[in-house]
């Protein structure tokens, strides 16, 4: 991912989260950044921090609630008015609520579906209309989307949908030279609640967890090679592939026993 001019940017959603920040600092090595997240204050602080470390690049920010059509349209309008173009897009924004489906409110059902899927697809559709000839897309899915996951059902389903969609989009855009990679990381210790989740998973969680910097470097290397799917870490590759030899019903019962003990609603 490299920008090519003053109005050329690398577009990162969810930029203020732990993984989004890691993408921002790594992508800053390649050129100008356009960053969005929900909090204007956190975006301003991130921009200041990046500017100190990378004074030669241009950094633009615009706060956006990915669940809101009006907020997304305001973001798109801001970009269109200024004629910005994009050399790459990193879809990082997401919500990882975890609990039994019956404990959700209907508002939280809509929230998680909108931020994980609807918002990501809308941003991608818009960015494709502002893309430069050499355009790369990295979308953060999850290892949790490889199998159905009781007690993590909406998150698992929306992340599986991202993998399916962007795998299809990759083929649609192949002749136009657009590279599309879906990333399926395991646990990423970015927040206290996630760190506790990883601890709660025991040895499985410890082996699966990778730092944000590790995931970002593997992701960007994968899109440069135009890989369809990137699974960072040897153990995570094993988790994704080896259990497929076991009947799905057995896998789901195992997942249910482990994940029913953990619950969070961090958003």
Predicted confidence (pLDDT) per residue in 49-89, tens digit: 999 999 999 999 999 999 999 999 999 999 999 999 999 99
- Is residue 237 within 8 Å of residue 186, measured between CB atoms? no
Residue 125 has pLDDT above 90, yes or no: yes
User: What is the bridge-based pairing of β-strands 179-183 and 229-230?
Assistant: parallel
DSSP string for 78-112: HHHHHT-EEEEEEE------BS-GGG--HHHHHHH
Q: What token pair was written down for 155?
A: 């998150």
Residue of higher predicted confidence among 149 and 81: 81
What's the length of the chain?
267
Residue 203 has pLDDT above 60, yes or no: no
| pTM, rounded to two decimals | 0.89
What pLDDT, on a 0 to 100 scale, did the predictor assign at position 96? 84
For the chain, domain boundaries: 8-259
Q: How would residue 241 be classed by pLDDT, with cut points 50, 70 and 90?
A: confident
Q: Looking at the domain covering 8-259, what would its CATH class be?
A: alpha beta
């Amino acid at each position: 991912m490299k920008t090519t001019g003053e109005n050329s940017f690398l577009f990162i959603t969810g930029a203020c989260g732990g993984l989004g920040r890691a993408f921002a600092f790594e992508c800053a090595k390649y050129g100008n950044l356009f960053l969005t997240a929900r909090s204007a204050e956190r975006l301003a602080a991130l921009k200041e921090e990046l500017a100190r470390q990378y004074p030669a690049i241009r950094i633009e920010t615009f706060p956006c609630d990915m669940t809101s059509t009006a907020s997304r349209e305001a973001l798109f309008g801001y970009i269109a008015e200024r004629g910005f173009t994009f050399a790459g897009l990193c879809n990082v924004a997401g919500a990882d609520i975890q609990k039994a489906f019956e404990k959700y409110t209907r508002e939280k059902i809509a929230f998680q579906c909108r931020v994980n899927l609807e918002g990501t697809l809308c941003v991608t559709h818009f960015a494709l209309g502002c893309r430069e000839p050499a355009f790369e897309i990295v979308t953060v899915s999850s290892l949790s989307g490889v199998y159905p996951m009781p007690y993590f059902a909406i998150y698992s389903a929306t992340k599986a949908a991202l993998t399916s969609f962007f795998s299809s989009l990759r083929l649609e855009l192949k002749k136009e030279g657009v590279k599309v990679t879906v990333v399926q990381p395991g646990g990423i210790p970015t927040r206290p609640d996630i760190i506790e989740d990883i601890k709660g998973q025991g040895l499985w969680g410890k082996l699966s967890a990778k730092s944000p910097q590790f995931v970002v470097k593997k992701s960007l290397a994968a899109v440069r090679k135009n890989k369809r799917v990137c699974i960072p870490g040897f153990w995570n590759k094993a988790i994704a592939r080896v259990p497929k030899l076991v009947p799905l019903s057995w896998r789901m019962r195992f997942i249910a026993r482990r994940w029913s003990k953990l619950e969070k609603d961090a958003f």
